[in-house]
Amino acid sequence: QSGIGPKEELARHDIPLVADLAVGKNLQDHILFAVTALLNGHHGNNKEDAESLSSFLQYFIWQTGVMASPGVDLTGFVQTKYAIAENSTRPDIQFVILCFGGASDLASVLFNTRKELLHFLFRSSNATNIAGLNSCDFFPILLHPESRGQIRLLSTNPFDSPIIEPNFFSSQRDVDVLRESFKMLLDIFDAKPLKKLMDADGRDPLATLKQAKVVSGCALGSMDVSDDCLERVSQHFTSTVWHYISTCKMGPHSDPGAVVGPDLKVHGLDGIRVADASIMPTLPSGNTNAPTIMIGEKAADMIKTYWSMSD
């Protein structure tokens, strides 16, 4: 109950106002959706391989094999036609590839995936049982969404979880860009080197998508797949990337949406700074971990400089 936040939100909970600032507003996050592709032969990784004695010895002696994988086997940054049309200098999509795909039992261990979700995706009685098969997960990530969410108070009890409203896809442009990334992904799947690995021993490489009810009737894997199908897929399999930022946005005092200034001090108050991902005005074209560490390091330098000058 600091009293620092939007005036109307604090009044709703009868919290005395200390500073009317846009705390909790402008919530942003990277958005991804997952496509699990089945692989043929012994490509990809699974739980049995990861836990085998041979894998342990391979890593111990040569530092190679499944245990040497950093988890993310491949990543790349691209521009869709929307970024190109705007003459943007930055990518708007990141592709992340993990070769222990969602159909493998290894992924369920690593991601602590709910059993109900695995059953729905990979153990449907209406489709070929593909659970445990070798696979790769392909994640197109929307790097610069236009959609904005917010975080609000549930009550005055600090132990009550807040109300988080991501508002994903409140901007149609986000839907369009993510749909375009799916088209690019289908092009990648159609490339000869990858297509050879995705033969899946006669099984459909994209069976994990096709057995879901939301995409029934969609000709996935076909280059004439409709935009409607692509939109349904990309929104249905959407997830957060846990890169939430900007609920204490940095900006000048004249900006009504800003909470802290360039020195990370909260506007209008003394003795309080914010030094985490919430001060980022916009999302970076990549993970937020390194920038957040930089923010903490910069804050430490500014605080040390301030006190050394005070002495």
3-state secondary structure of 217: coil
Torsion of CA 99, 101, 106, 111, to 10 degrees: 110
Helix (H) or strand (E) holding 238: strand 238-240
Q: What CA–CA distance (Å, rounded) separates 98 from 96?
A: 7
Which of 83, 25, 78 has its CA nearest to residue 281?
25
Which of 91, 97, 55 has its CA nearest to residue 75?
97
DSSP category for residue 38: E
Which of 27, 32, 28, 6 has its CA nearest to residue 17?
6
Q: What CA–CA distance (Å, rounded) separates 18 from 269?
A: 9
Q: What CA–CA distance (Å, rounded) separates 42 from 218?
A: 29
Q: What CA–CA distance (Å, rounded) separates 149 from 170?
A: 9
Which of 165, 146, 151, 147 has its CA nearest to residue 247?
151
For tokens 């969609």, the residue is 218
Active site residues: 243
The b/e string for 224-251 (b: 16+ C-beta within 10 A; e otherwise) is: ebeeebbbbbbbebbeebebbbbbbbbb
